[in-house]
Amino acid sequence: MATTGMTLNDLLDDPDITQIVINGPGQVSIRRGAGLEAAPVRFGGEADLLRAVGALLNMEADAPGGLPPEAHLAGGWHMEIAMPPAAPDGPVIILRRLPTPADAEQRLLAVGTLTPPLVEFLSACVTARLNLIVCGNSRPLTAALLSTLARYIPPGELVVSVEWQPTLRLDREHLIRLIYAPGDEETGQHAGMRELMWKAQRLNPDRLIVGELRGGEALDLLQAMMTGFDGSMGAVHASGARDVLGRLEMLCSASGAGYAVLHTRRLIDGAVKLIVSVQRLGDGSERVTQVTEVQGISGDVNVLVDLFTFQQSGYAAGRIEGEIRPTGIRPQCMMRLDEAGIRLSPEIFRVPGRPGR
């Protein structure tokens, strides 16, 4: 039990709270917007804290094997746990609210992460089955954007998602979820990411969604994108479009396939059409900073062309001011959109204040 009038359950029930950080029994913080703030909840000690967490998991805190390192709770909360001695100041519990796709889109629009013209363009690209990669410096943020983009997949299509951890919120009828499961010493069962990728393709989905690319499954996704799974998506930890290419090259090399770098770059060029970069900036705000098109190979280097970029206009009251704007370049993928019967206004790509052609 917490030693104040407010409990951990009260924080979980507050719709404005998106993250709860418990750093030992005496320090509880919450996130309502960009930054953390102290919460009026304290625990009597480690045992008290672990009992409260165990109650959330419907298990005893001293159960054999202890508390799991992570768990998914009712209400869309994801929990990460670090225990002593790895956490010397006491048990660390991080709870993140995973928004529904509809809520995620409204929130991303409200805080300026997305803009209506950008949503119109990206939704058209998803509908037209363009393969895309989401990158960012925050896993919850890339998961929220990936979940939002998946909303635009037509409802009659079968989607298979593959995840290391259950962080995506894909509210759709025809969905098969595959989650990484490490080997079990008693049963010998194992579901590694590459095994899941192979299984996912054999399930014959219309599209694949990979929550985070960390290893050789990156190669599997790129190959799937090249062999009939158009409109697939994945997320990777990177700070921008150019970093995505280096990251994908490294992950593909880790697969053990032995591909030359140029072969991997050609694979990326054939598989990936768009890279959407979403970043948490220095002031804590979350913005889409780039939408980049992969436009071929020049020599032995992938050609990247920014279609939209974030432009900072100022800094006031501790906040970065600015918005994502078109660069004025008409995408090569417009032909794919035309073939899908999608007509976008030229104004989406016109630089504000610049006369149209």
Domain presence at residue 75: yes
* pLDDT value of position 42: 85
262-290 tens-digit pLDDT: 899 999 999 999 999 998 888 777 889 99
141-162 tens-digit pLDDT: 898 889 889 999 999 999 999 9
Residue 232 has pLDDT above 60, yes or no: yes
In angstroms, the Cα distances linking 56 to 47, 59, 317, 339 are 14, 8, 39, 50
Residue 320 has pLDDT above 50, yes or no: yes
247-261 tens-digit pLDDT: 999 999 888 777 888
Domain presence at residue 2: no
Residue 319 amino acid letter: R
Residue 12 has pLDDT above 60, yes or no: yes
Domain presence at residue 356: no
**What number is the average pLDDT over the span 185-201?**
77
Domain presence at residue 338: yes
Quick one: 72 and 169 in the same domain? no
Quick one: 76 and 152 in the same domain? no
**What number is the average pLDDT over the span 102-112?**
69
Domain presence at residue 77: yes
* pLDDT value of position 3: 44
* pLDDT value of position 34: 66
CATH code at position 297: 3.40.50.300
Instruction: Kindly report the average pLDDT of the chain as a whole number.
Output: 86
Quick one: 26 and 79 in the same domain? yes
Quick one: 219 and 339 in the same domain? yes
Quick one: 105 and 237 in the same domain? yes
Domain presence at residue 354: no
Domain presence at residue 181: yes
pTM: 0.79
162-182 tens-digit pLDDT: 998 888 888 888 999 998 877
User: Which distant-in-sequence residues (6+ apart) come within 8 Å of 57 by Cβ?
Assistant: 67, 68, 71, 73, 79
Quick one: 244 and 197 in the same domain? yes
- The dihedrals phi and psi of 229, each to the nearest 5 degrees, come to -95, 60
Quick one: 51 and 121 in the same domain? no
Number of domains in the chain: 2
Domain coverage including residue 183:
101-349
* pLDDT value of position 283: 79
Check: CB of residue 232 under 8 Å from CB of residue 207. Answer: yes
Quick one: 105 and 219 in the same domain? yes
* pLDDT value of position 2: 46
Quick one: 73 and 142 in the same domain? no
Cα–Cα distance for residue pair 44/245, rounded to 1 Å: 49
Residue 4 has pLDDT above 80, yes or no: no
Quick one: 63 and 26 in the same domain? yes
- Respond yes or no on whether the N-terminal peptide bond of residue 85 is cis (omega within 30° of 0): yes
Spacing of C-alpha 45 from chain mean position: 35
